[in-house]
Amino acid sequence: MQGKVALVTGAGAGIGRAIAVRLAREGAAVVVADIDEHGGAETVRQIEADGGRAAFVLTDVAVEADVRAMVTFTEQRFGGLDILVNNAGGAPEPYFPEAEPKHWGRTLDVNLRGVMLGIQFGIQAMRKRGGGMIVNISSMAGIGYRSYDAPEYAASKAGVVRLTTTLGFLKDRLGIRVNCICPGWVETPAVKRALAAMTPEERKTLAFPPPLVLIQPEEIAGAVVMFVRDDALAGRVMVWPDGEPWRLVPVDAPY
């Protein structure tokens, strides 16, 4: 990835930080985008301490002007954009239908609309470089038919999956590959806090099968690198259920 420029949203902690650090180690210059200025600065510090190149841009992916600005910042700072990782997301309590529309609407804006904005403006920049690679971080919450405590989160993540698959044509049309990763529970600070707040009985219900095995953020970063390197993959979805190996969903998979 020497000479490539990467942009990672939600890179101030957790999965996003692990991805940003790994891409920098692979040789890419990395723009760290996050709503958390302190966390973003720490990710940049870690990359630079490891000999990499990085810069931070304060970004709320739910705001169109912010997403435009982060792509422009990336081009101005490092000369272009080759790799975009749409990782920013979340679902603060309370959840739909108890939450007010403004509250659950923000979750949809961050998790789905933010991804769409990133792709749209990212494509404009990548076309100047003759192509590029986009990896969307979704979730197993968006896969399947089970009940889920945060319906707006599950719906938005399901939308990211379908959005990814519909964009497979961009590989042939523009030389831009869009793929998606759907992990189960990942050992991030946010997940640790959530698990700590649960009762032992609640934690038992999360494992299919027990015990619950948390995916490491660095493993997700490795999957991102795989998608970036494999130029045959486009419009593909990786599912990574709790306690199981990851697998690519066949393009002709049944409903």
Contact 143, 188 (CB under 8 A): no
CA distance 89 to 112: 9
Q: What is the DSSP letter of 169?
A: G
The span from the first CA to the last CA of the chain, in angstroms, equals 36
- Cis status, amide bond into 245, omega within 30 of 0: no
| Strand bridging mode 247-248 / 237-240 | antiparallel
Known active-site residue 153: yes
Query: Kindly report the CA angle at 119 between 32 and 89, in degrees rounded to 5?
Result: 55
Surface-to-core class of residue 157, CB atoms within 10 Å of its CB (0-12 exposed, 13-18 middle, 19+ buried): buried
Q: Which of 95, 145, 148, 153 is catalytic?
A: 153
Active site residues: 153
